[in-house]
Amino acid sequence: MNSILKYPLLLFLGSLILQSCEKTDALNSSDDSNSNASVYFYKPLNFLDPVYDFSKNPVTKEGFELGKALFNDPLLSRDNTIACSECHNQSYAFTHHGHPLSHGIEGKVGLRNAPPIQNTAWQKEFFWDGGVGDLDLFPIAPIENPVEMDEKLGNVLEKLKKTSRYPNLFKSAFGTDEINTQRFLKALSQFMNSLISDNSKYDKVMRHQGEVFTLDEKAGYDLFNAKCASCHQGALFTDQSYRNNGLPINEQLNDKGRFRITENSTDLYKFKVPSLRNVELTAPYMHDGRFFTLDDVLNHYSRGVVQSETLDPILSKGISLSEEEKRKIILFLKTLTDKEFIRNTKFSN
């Protein structure tokens, strides 16, 4: 009797220890585990702690696979023609290559440029205006936006239930074949949270993994730190604030940015500072994709900033940049390109 009691207790303790080991590994992975295909979420050494609450939705292989299937499935759109991956293409760091504004079903054109989907677990708020504060609630917006997928969330769930494929995928991921809002959204979060870009040359330089900057890249890095990093700061290259960076107003779109959410006049024309990871791949740039090259972007800051009431004070005189300085900054920005991320077959459909 005694031994029977002891045995499960030992097993239980053993599994606790194993579990905690696994968790530590996943959260404090070195470069070795970055390439380990069985680990779906980890914290890169040069990143801060994620803001996403993984206790409510840990990433599992099955949840990731379900999320990936959903991400790539045009069934999420009203006419079954457009998947999330249409505007968030892995080859371009999950952006809509070459499109200033995102395209929806039936050739409809959206209001804004599709941002990359990467390092979502570290993002506090989503969209250019921060209208959604929880990754789990994010996908409802593109699904229901009349100029994007123009579908109803409830109808997506009904369509999924009628397939032969999805009930099984939901069962693998969540234990039963029930398809509901929570599971659908959590699976998508699991996939998105796995899209970690942390293997650029910059990362390897920072982690002392054998890579070194060229002299020009180093000069660009120093210039970047002096002239750009107050907004594009930290390992994510954004302070996640909302700022008016002095773009001339596009009257046709009349996009008032953060003001759409807060309706506070001090937020007029402010947009979220975007991450610069993979910026070489994510053209065109700005919330409305008006700039097709990084030269255009730097030229804007050096000579195109327009004064207005909500212009960020830091940009009141623009940013003084010589042509040589711009060239070096762009060389540095290209060290943020993460080829392993865009070629990782784990993320591919």
Partner 1 sequence: MKNILWIFISITFLLGACKNESIEPIDPSIKNNVTLEFSNMVGTQSLILDNSTYQNSSAESFSVSKLNYFISNVSFKNIAGTTVNLSDQYFLVKQNDANSLLPILKDVPSGDYTEISFTIGVDSVKSVSPVEQRTGVLDPASYGDDNMYWSWNSGYIFFKLEGTSPSAINVATPNKFQYHVGGFGGRTSATANNLRRITLALPQIIHVRKSISPSVHLIADISKVFSGTNPVKLANSAVIMSPALALPISSNYANMFSVDHIHE
Chain contacts with partner 1 (rule: CB under 8 A): 53, 56, 124-125, 127, 130-134, 136-137, 140-141, 143-145, 152-157, 180-182, 185-186, 258, 260-264, 267
Residues 6+ apart with CB under 8 A from 79: 105, 106
45 or 141: whose CB is closer to partner 1? 141
Instruction: Count other Cβ atoms within 10 Å, centred on residue 315.
Output: 18
* Smallest distance, partner 1 to C-beta of residue 44, A: 25
161 or 207: whose CB is closer to partner 1? 161
Phi-psi category of residue 34: left, alpha or beta, with phi > 0 → left and psi -120 to 50 → alpha: alpha
Enumerate long-range contacts of 31-35, CB under 8 Å, 24 or more apart.
31/207, 31/209, 34/198, 34/199, 35/340
* Smallest distance, partner 1 to C-beta of residue 100, A: 19
Q: What is the DSSP letter of 126?
A: B
* Smallest distance, partner 1 to C-beta of residue 315, A: 21
Q: Specify whether the CB–CB gap between 244 and 255 falls below 8 A.
A: no
Tokens of 174: 């969540």
136 or 280: whose CB is closer to partner 1? 136
38 or 252: whose CB is closer to partner 1? 252
Q: Specify whether the CB–CB gap between 145 and 110 falls below 8 A.
A: yes
186 or 232: whose CB is closer to partner 1? 186
The answer to whether 21 is annotated as binding is no
* Smallest distance, partner 1 to C-beta of residue 319, A: 27
Q: What is the DSSP letter of 243?
A: E
* Smallest distance, partner 1 to C-beta of residue 132, A: 5
- Dist CA 333 CA 276 (whole Å): 7
- Dist CA 102 CA 275 (whole Å): 18
* Smallest distance, partner 1 to C-beta of residue 180, A: 8
Residues 6+ apart with CB under 8 A from 53: none
106 or 134: whose CB is closer to partner 1? 134
* Smallest distance, partner 1 to C-beta of residue 106, A: 18
Q: Which helix (H) or strand (E) holds 242?
A: strand 242-243
DSSP state letters, 189-215: HHHHHH-----SHHHHHHTTSS----H
- Dist CA 156 CA 78 (whole Å): 8
152 or 346: whose CB is closer to partner 1? 152
Please report, in range form, the residues annotated as the binding site for heme c: 84, 87-88, 228, 231-232
Annotated binding site: 84, 87-88, 228, 231-232
